[in-house]
Chain A
């Protein structure tokens, strides 16, 4: 075998330029696949990290919330959610996996800004969170693709009156000037006329303290908006929210509607003086690979405890993630297919020319007693060597490109994210990508050599010897 490969290498070196061109085609194929594969790995890791930092790995809902809860979150809230959290924390399987467990309250309503002569209102999608849990979740960086986020001191556990809004909502509510926001356009002085007034008969500001009383005192520096929502019982309720800052969202629709507030304030708004519940319990795991086990254990726990709860993971909650994974996977497969075809034709062409040029030599060694199989093996070995050398060079080049890109400190805006993140191609974390690409290209080159190799093997000895 070693002798065969040695001869194969020498034969390839006979026509260095041709072999170099074919090897380059294979190498460039390997380079393209490996760099793009590294990029997709990074994309997946970046997206996953972003999602897990914001919505955790798993969310526990009351049965039916996932399908119908968006219309009336309060109706599908989890009763006695604290007991459920205690059960989860005590579970011997799930407990050790959990990094952060925090309740959330989703809600919908109308946000209005009536301060300083403003008269703006807008529907909003709100979420109630526990600020310290949010900070801890934002530290999750299993794949090392995210900058470590500093604790967000705009929200604190001990001040439930403060919240954040999306950049779009801040603009619509006319908060740009008050909050001194850059890249934020103030609403025009002359607003378009509407047929019917959007302002409710009962002003939001008037309603603001109906349930809250005077618990939330305003700070002079932060603007205050009013949030109107229907309570679980169907009655309107209003709270004031001091906007501590903007939390830009990647999608405009969400950015124009997003309000994050203290969990207690969200509960206050939705449940008023009634029993305070939560629409979800978010679980952020230490490692993503434990997701399946944790989910199965949670389902067992809920079944055992006869709890009317279900678990959804971040992929189900964010179809965008699965779509991006599918899109990049398809592009990678398409690229792999194109590269495979290029390598196939390049090797077939090169080996066919080699066979043509060495026809007399084929006749000679057949006359000396080499079987047809021996001829076939010789040319297949040349395809193998060509593929292996080309793929190895491509892999080395890909490593150099990945190292250079990572060292360059480039940043980019991943899809669905509102801030730039460092571009870190991940090749070394995917040994299967490296080995698979190398192997696939080498196998394609070897198989491609089979066609001319068969042709060479089938030659008549006399005809081959006569060939000039």
Chain B
């Protein structure tokens, strides 16, 4: 990682992503350029099919752009081979998925602990940090439960704890409230905001609900694969 004080957490330059849908090509992202500074709570807003998820996938280094460059924490991730990219994600990026995506055979504690195993943390520190994270999301008493014994909101809390436990530079949340009722969704957004402030992590989350933009330090609006609006940030 080559981040300096002037380096943004995310820098996209003319990033495009085209999918082959049979004979036709579908451009999901069309030459987007943006920068997201560190320690910001950023929201990407757009309707379904606007390219939010593709944009987050590119930022999360789980998809490769058809054109342009993606720099995360100062690292041009296009230059990293698969194993190094995996290691980069393991160290620097946390994910919160719309469908929670908890590992069903692991307890809440083990799900949160899992990312720390990937970075080779010592057992004692791993356990302490996992418990602290579960405490931060209010799930200490549910630590031993498997995901199927948790409610939707509790699952998403575990997912947030899992994303944050390794103290990543960047946390990406793709429509984290889409599968939750509005009250639980609001609680989750509040929780994300709170832990982001506490951990001072850069948070990027996508939503199709424009009302959530009010929670963000920075926001981008996207439609048909093109940025249509931005607040709190400068496009390069």
A residues engaging B (CB < 8 A)? Answer: 3, 7, 10-11, 13-14, 360-361, 363-373, 461-462, 465
Contacts and interface: CB of A to CB of B under 8 A. Distances in A.
B212 interface: no
B95 A367 contact: yes
B115 interface: yes
A251 B103 CA distance: 68
Interface in B37-63: 57, 60, 62-63
Interface string B211-234: 000000000000000000000000
B118 interface: yes
B178 interface: no
A461 B162 CA distance: 18
B117 interface: yes
B62 A371 contact: no
A223 B209 CA distance: 114
Contacts of B97: 364, 465
Nearest to A373: B83
B171 to A, nearest CB: 12
17 contacts: A3-B117, A7-B105, A10-B105, A11-B105, A14-B105, A361-B101, A361-B104, A364-B95, A367-B89, A368-B89, A368-B118, A368-B162, A369-B90, A369-B115, A369-B118, A370-B90, A372-B83
A371 B83 contact: yes
B194 to A, nearest CB: 23
Contacts of B106: 7, 10
Contacts of A363: 62, 101
Interface range for B: 20 to 34
Q: Which of A3, A360, A369 has the most CB of B within 10 A?
A: A369
A13 B104 CA distance: 11
B86 A369 contact: yes
B102 to A, nearest CB: 8
Contacts of B62: 363, 366-367, 461-462, 465
Contacts of B91: 369
A211 to B, nearest CB: 91
Contact of A462 (B57, B82, B101, B119): B57
Contacts of A3: 117
Interface of B: 57, 60, 62-63, 82-83, 86-91, 93, 95, 97, 99, 101, 103-106, 114-115, 117-119, 162
A407 B60 CA distance: 66
A361 B115 CA distance: 14
B90 A365 contact: no
Nearest to A372: B82
A465 B172 CA distance: 14
A462 B89 CA distance: 14
Given A14-B104, A361-B103, A372-B82, A367 B118 contact: no
Contact of A368 (B57, B82, B90, B99): B90
A278 to B, nearest CB: 76
A361 to B, nearest CB: 6
Given A14-B104, A465-B97, A370 B57 contact: no
Contacts of A13: 105
Contacts of A367: 60, 62, 89, 95
Contacts of B117: 3
A11 B105 CA distance: 6
A361 B91 CA distance: 19
Contacts of B89: 367-369
A7 B106 CA distance: 8
B110 to A, nearest CB: 9
B1 to A, nearest CB: 14
A457 to B, nearest CB: 10
Contacts of B57: 462
A368 to B, nearest CB: 6
A2 B106 CA distance: 15
B114 A368 contact: yes
A366 B54 CA distance: 17
Nearest to A365: B103
A371 B63 contact: no
A371 B103 contact: no
Nearest to A369: B90
Contacts of A7: 105-106
B145 to A, nearest CB: 14
Contact of B86 (A366, A462, A465): A366
